[in-house]
Amino acid sequence: MSSALPAQDDRRFVLALGCPDRPGIIARITSFIAEFGGSIMEAGYHSDADSGWFFTRQAIKASTVPFGLAELRERFAAVAAELGTETEWQLLDSGARRRAVLLVSKDGHCLHDLLGRAASGELPATIEAVIGNHPDLAGMTEAHGVKFHHVLFPKDPAERGPAFDEVRSLVDSYHPDAVVLARFMQVLPAELCAHWAGRAINIHHSFLPSFVGARPYHQAFARGVKLIGATCHYVTAELDAGPIIEQDVTRIDHADDVGDMVRQGRDIERVVLARGLRWHLEGRVLVHGRRTVVFT
């Protein structure tokens, strides 16, 4: 499945950066871009008083850069060094094809939504493959021309190591920019969380940090909540506690049962996951510790 790439005139080199805050950071970055005649088409800034860190995202019109991305990275590395050894940064090309691999179980609503968005060009990535621990979603996946891999997971969690090894090997063979747990109902081992750190994205069907773990709608119903939600977050070894990318909620009332909550929650899950994945692929999400800065 091919992704829709921007027209040449819309192509951007996107710089995302975080570093300890101090005077002169913006001036240094913008003067660097001005030195070679670069045109900044989009810019976002955030200074976090609690952590003392500064964050920025700059989208530079690629046609105004008189050299390629590799040289731009090489030149900017010197600027990043001036800003301090703790500086974290990346430079992306919006014209380069981005890749995603999706992990699924039996629920297909998020998978169907992402496949449709990719097919229509809404998602700035190619869905390279879908990997499921059940075969149920193979037909839906293959109808979109995407390869489906079924990996059999033993019932005993203690025996699932080889299955996760197979999943890792399959995912890594596609060299993805994002590994999306699209209602993949398995807890990734800590080693795999570390291996895919900053790339593994999960959709959890509750408004975290409330109702972590399994059956959150049942937990919410038991507590009589009036709002239910969904959370898109990066995956870490701590269950459902990774840095949050996006969230949303919808209102329910006393007449709604668990089935109603599941049905309404699925609508939120689709939208929240699509937003979070898109922002990740566009280099709009900067992670610092357990928090994120998202330049939407």
Residues catalogued as catalytic: 240
Strand spans (E) along the chain = 12-20, 40-48, 53-61, 88-93, 99-104, 126-132, 147-150, 178-181, 200-204, 227-234, 244-251, 285-288, 291-294
Helix (H, G, I), strand (E, B) or coil at 143: helix
3-state SS track over 160-200: CHHHHHHHHHHHHHCCCCEEEECCCCCCCCHHHHHHCCCCE
CB–CB of 63/94 below 8 Å?
no
Helix (H, G, I), strand (E, B) or coil at 254: coil
